[in-house]
Amino acid sequence: MHMSHDTALGINLLHANQEGAAHNQAHLDEWGITCFNVMSSPGAGKTALLEKTLVALHDSLQIAVIEGDMTTELDADRLRQSGVPVIAINTGRACHLDARMVAGGLHRLQQDYDPARFDLVFVENVGNLVCPAEFEVGEHAKVALLSITEGEDKPLKYPIMFREADCLLITKIDLAPYLDVDLNQIEANIRQINPTVTIIPVSVKTGAGLEHWYEWVKANLHHDRPSSTPDPISPALAQF
């Protein structure tokens, strides 16, 4: 079977990224850090959710954030108001974070802090319903957000994102009375793509469902602490 040059290149890129993701996860495991990759379309509420989460879990967990955005540090600056370390990565024209970029963020975390003191790193990915789901970054779980303002059909139109998710937050449910959207149909469409995913409807504005989200975060932490100090991440690997 003939394989086109573009197809072969894509497979090679994904393979190289997977190797980098495994390297990142090995370091996270050595430090005893759990990593969640938070993904959604633009405007679904990733930053707003993390703002609430960082404040709510501040007393019980040591958290850092790797914040991906194409051009600005606006979201990173919002999250810095919570007082947690936030490492901003500008991706330029790239529509997702990849393992190499996140390795750069972990390298900076290791330079500026004692990484073994952190329990959890959130990676806030670039707003996009396609590319982030295909490029692992070393995360232990994928968290996807879907705003009810996006409609009922998005899980069917963008199945990779929803198939890969370990936890799916349906956001902005406070707007349901004003929209011609059936929350039950959204959940049914998600289940059609991913029957076992945890689904948590939330509203950052009213607080509805957020306690269930915080419980999921705490229940999915890896509690093993490092037995020794790992080797530094290679700066060459961490270039971005």
The total number of structural domains that make up the chain = 1
Domain encompassing residue 204: 12-219
pLDDT band (50, 70, 90) for residue 17 = confident
Q: Is the pLDDT of residue 236 over 50?
A: no
Establish if 101 belongs to a structural domain: yes
CATH of the domain at 197: 3.40.50.300
Residues 6+ positions from 133 with CB-CB distance below 8 Å: 39, 142, 144, 160, 161, 163, 164
H or E element, residue 219: helix 210-219
Establish if 225 belongs to a structural domain: no
Which pLDDT score is estimated for 69? 87
Per the model's pLDDT, the better-predicted residue between 3 and 77 turns out to be 77
Q: What is the arithmetic mean of pLDDT over 92-114?
A: 92
Sign of the Cα pseudo-torsion (59, 61, 64, 65, in order): negative
Q: Are 169 and 48 in contact (CB under 8 A)?
A: no
Establish if 231 belongs to a structural domain: no
Which pLDDT score is estimated for 224? 52
Establish if 236 belongs to a structural domain: no
Q: Is the pLDDT of residue 210 over 90?
A: yes
Which pLDDT score is estimated for 7? 55
Which pLDDT score is estimated for 71? 85
Six-digit token pair at 24? 């990142």
Q: Is the pLDDT of residue 86 over 60?
A: yes
Establish if 227 belongs to a structural domain: no
Establish if 239 belongs to a structural domain: no
pLDDT band (50, 70, 90) for residue 14 = confident
Q: What would the pLDDT profile of 140-199 be if each residue is shown by its tens digit? A: 999 999 999 999 999 999 999 999 999 999 999 999 999 999 999 999 999 999 999 999
CA angle (229 as vertex; 225, 231 as ends), nearest 5: 130
Establish if 232 belongs to a structural domain: no
Which pLDDT score is estimated for 11? 59
Q: Locate tokens 């469902």: which residue? A: 209
Establish if 238 belongs to a structural domain: no
